[in-house]
């Protein structure tokens, strides 16, 4: 049974317009996902384009052969722009409208109304290009879950390839122009319908997943510093602990405490104290390694968990201490001379609970405070339970009873 082109395009028009209105309603409910606005507009314009293609011959051949495809290519450019916007990349109007400009330029140079074959080839190439560009945008994004990213990429790439099928059909049916026109456009209409429905489904799923991710991130983030809050830090730290346990490797906990923070609040006010916390958060973020996890536990107390042993952790901790000593000298235009004390504890991940490691790092932090502040005191467990090794890092010229690594016997 042959596919009726008119029926398929009527269905495509209705479905596309309804999906556009549906996406518009979603965007009006949650305008934080601005890409939904782009996609809603694209679907509404796409539905209009198909309607004009159907009604055009009754009004003007110019409408069906020139204006309707031009609007369809605007729709494709907006879908691509929405994909970029969804992942935080800026719109590129010239590229988004390039398909329409190429179509209009070709129409001015060639009588496309009399050349079904050229219309099919050019339309297929433009739409397939935008579909593949959308797929590339989705594949480039690494922050979304791999499953969602792969699903969206696969759909866009598949339809980018399928939109080239009318060209293949023309190649194998070169001697039947009427059959070519009806059969090819029927296939084109069916592919368009499947594409818009499938893409809308993926768009809604992606928007929902991003909304969930945003709310989850907000619930696990400290609003003042942008670091993990206690809940987020504990969850991320436990995942790192589990990974180190599976690998039979060591783990190190760092505890940070801003020196004389109460005095900063008393002398300069709580706004200045908040500014000091933000400066420290930015400093620690810049100086930690990619695989390290840091969070704010409350007040002026921060913690970090690092894969590996004490030696590498002491390097990181000293880098943070030295950087904040410099950054904290003047904050918000006030000479605060803010510094930080750091305690570290390292041991085999499989032999310790997270709370136990944190308590021992906290004890090392207490020693750093006792020994003069603005320094790092670290302790590492010796394999076999023979005791611990203690190391201290302090500013140049500072004195400390633990200026060099020393071994402390167990018991």
DSSP letter (8 states) at residue 91: P
Secondary structure element (H or E) that encloses residue 340, with its range: strand 340-348
What is each CA distance from 271 to 229, 245, 275, in whole angstroms? Answer: 20, 42, 6
Residues 6+ apart with CB under 8 A from 363: 343, 345, 379
Backbone angles phi, psi at 299, to 5 degrees: 60, -130
Strands (DSSP E) along 134-203, which ranges? none
**Cα distance between residue 305 and residue 284, in whole Å:** 12
DSSP letter (8 states) at residue 347: E
Tell the burial category of 340 from Cβ atoms under 10 Å away from its Cβ (0-12, 13-18, 19+): buried
> How far out from the chain centre does Cα 388 lie?
42
- Picking from 140, 149, 181, 184, the residue whose alpha carbon sits closest to that of residue 163 is 184
Helix axes 310-327, 270-287, angle to 10 degrees: 140
Q: Where are the alpha helices (DSSP H) in 220-353?
A: 230-247, 261-268, 270-287, 310-327
Active site residue 300: yes
**Cα distance between residue 128 and residue 195, in whole Å:** 11
How many C-beta atoms surround the C-beta of residue 29 within 10 A?
A: 9
List the catalytic residue out of 300, 318, 371, 381.
300
What is each CA distance from 235 to 78, 221, 228, 293, in whole angstroms? Answer: 39, 12, 10, 10
- In angstroms and rounded to an integer, the radius of gyration of the C-alpha atoms of the chain is 31
The token pair that represents 97 in the structure block: 């409208």
The token pair that represents 193 in the structure block: 């319908």
**Cα distance between residue 240 and residue 229, in whole Å:** 16
- Partners of 344 in the β-ladder: 254, 378
- 282, 291 Cβ separation under 8 angstroms: no
Secondary structure element (H or E) that encloses residue 301, with its range: strand 301-307
Which active-site residues does the annotation give? 300
């Amino acid at each position: 049974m042959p596919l009726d082109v008119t029926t398929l395009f009527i269905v495509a028009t209705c479905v596309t317009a309804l999906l556009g209105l549906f996406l518009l309603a979603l965007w009006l409910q949650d305008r934080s996902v601005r890409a939904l606005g782009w996609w809603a507009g694209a679907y509404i314009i796409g539905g209009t384009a198909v309607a004009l293609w159907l009604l055009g011959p009754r009004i003007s051949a110019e409408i069906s052969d020139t204006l309707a495809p031009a609007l369809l290519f605007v729709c494709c450019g907006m879908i691509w722009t929405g994909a970029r916007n969804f992942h935080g990349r800026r719109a590129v109007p010239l590229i988004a409208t390039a398909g329409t400009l190429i179509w209009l330029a070709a129409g001015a140079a060639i009588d496309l109304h009399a050349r079904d074959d050229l219309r099919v080839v050019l339309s297929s190439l433009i739409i397939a290009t935008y579909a593949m560009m959308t797929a590339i945008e989705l594949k480039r994004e690494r922050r979304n879950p791999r499953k969602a990213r792969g699903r969206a990429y696969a759909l866009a790439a598949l339809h980018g390839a399928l939109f080239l099928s009318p060209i293949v059909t023309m190649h194998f049916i070169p001697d039947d122009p009427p059959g070519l026109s009806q059969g090819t456009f029927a296939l084109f209409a069916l592919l368009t319908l499947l594409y818009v429905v499938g893409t809308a489904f993926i768009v809604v799923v992606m928007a929902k997943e991003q909304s969930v991710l945003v709310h989850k991130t907000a619930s696990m983030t400290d609003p003042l510093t942008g670091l993990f809050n206690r809940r987020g830090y504990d969850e991320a730290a436990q995942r790192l602990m589990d990974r180190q346990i599976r690998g039979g490797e060591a783990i190190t906990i760092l505890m940070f405490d801003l020196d004389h923070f109460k005095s900063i609040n008393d002398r300069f006010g709580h706004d200045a104290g908040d500014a000091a916390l933000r400066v420290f958060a930015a400093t620690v973020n810049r100086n930690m390694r990619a695989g390290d996890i840091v969070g704010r536990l409350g007040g002026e107390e921060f913690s970090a968990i690092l894969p590996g042993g004490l030696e590498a952790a002491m390097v990181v901790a000293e880098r943070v201490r030295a950087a904040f000593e410099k950054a904290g000298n003047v904050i918000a235009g006030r000479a605060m001379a803010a510094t930080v004390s750091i305690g570290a504890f390292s041991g085999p991940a499989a032999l310790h609970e997270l709370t136990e490691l944190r308590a021992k790092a906290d004890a090392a932090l207490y020693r750093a405070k006792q020994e003069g502040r603005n320094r790092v005191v670290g302790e590492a467990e010796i394999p076999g339970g023979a005791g611990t090794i203690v190391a201290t890092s302090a500013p140049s010229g500072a004195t400390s009873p633990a200026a060099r690594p020393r071994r402390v016997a167990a018991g």
